[in-house]
Structure 1
Amino acid sequence: MLPQLDTTQINSDLMLHRSIMAIMAACLAAVVTLCILQGEPWRLHWPEERLTTYRTLFYALAIITFPLTNLIRYIQVRLCQTMPGDKPAKRRYLTPVIVSLVLVENIGWLGVALFLLGDGLNTLSIFAGLAALGFILYRPKPSEYLSIVDALARKDDA
């Protein structure tokens, strides 16, 4: 028999996961805000040709990061369902959440790096927006968590 969790229990189990996501998003937002308000003295103003090369490379990295993060998260969730051990589901699910959030947060940091190298606010905003999109796409999801809980319950019954 599979365990039945109510919404309150699921929200309670995912509280740490959501708190970590909120802290990571707030830290990135604080750095972006700091760059916008007080970043001018720290900027290096590299030549445009050099910036274009880095901008192109960083955009390619950002584009590659989204499907790669999705693949890594999918694999990690499946591993959480099948790996032996006695860790509870909420602790197992913490790893895929943190790994995927770190990967998408790095997209925002690419924008900060470009801004500090001399690129404009537009680039900083685009990369910060992509990171925000990543935080939304790869947030802790009750359906993934419940799939781990169900798989572990079936494994215990077997």
Structure 2
Amino acid sequence: MPAQSQLSAADLRPHWLICAAMLLTVLGYNLVCHLWASELQIDLDEAQRVLIRSVLYGLAILLFPFTKLLRHILLRLNQTMPGPKTARQRYLSTIIITQALIELVSLSGLAMFILGDGFNTLYIFSVMGVLGIFLHKPNPGEYLAIAAALSMENR
């Protein structure tokens, strides 16, 4: 397995930029909600909002272990699947997929805010999304394991 010192800062830069973009997206729509709250919100009936909110909370709770399982599967596939992609490209695909899935949690808060819920719901979903971004951030060890597996395959 390659030594940690062989990992350059540029190797995972695109991966970290994906995470930064996800964080900026969450920050951006929270800011938009604060600036244009009255223009954005529609007044959906409370009973309908409660049902939709409950379903979205349930989906968010299920999305966390599903994303962890999917990441585990993708990491193993990155190590074992033949093909011309480099370790960096494979790992970037994994990061994009997991970050996009977790972004759905944050977007649920935006959807509920637009449907008429308050800032509390927006914040709860946003914090859950930011937690997910943190949990699924790039890990140099995972990247190096993919690179090592691919280098063993090419021997």
**Aligned residue in 2 for 1:114:** 112
Alignment check: 8 A CA contact 2:22 2:133 kept: no
Aligned equivalents of 2:3, 2:64: Cα separation in 1: 33
1:1-150 to structure 2, matched below 5 A, reads 2-6=1-5, 9=8, 11-150=9-148
What is the TM-score of this pair, normalised by structure 1? 0.93
The count of corresponding residues between Structure 1 and Structure 2 is 155
Give the RMSD, CA atoms, in angstroms: 1.2
Distance 1:138 1:63 in 2: 15
Structure 1: distance between partners of 2:13 and 2:69:
24
Distance 1:138 1:120 in 2: 28
The AA in structure 2 aligned to 1:84 is P
Unaligned runs of 5+ in 1: none
TM-score (norm 2): 0.95
Structure 2 counterpart of 1:4, one-letter code: A
- Aligned-pair identity (%): 38
Q: Which residue of 2 aligns with 1:156?
A: 154
Q: Which runs of 4+ in 1 moved over 2 A?
A: 2-5
Gaps of 5+ in 2: none
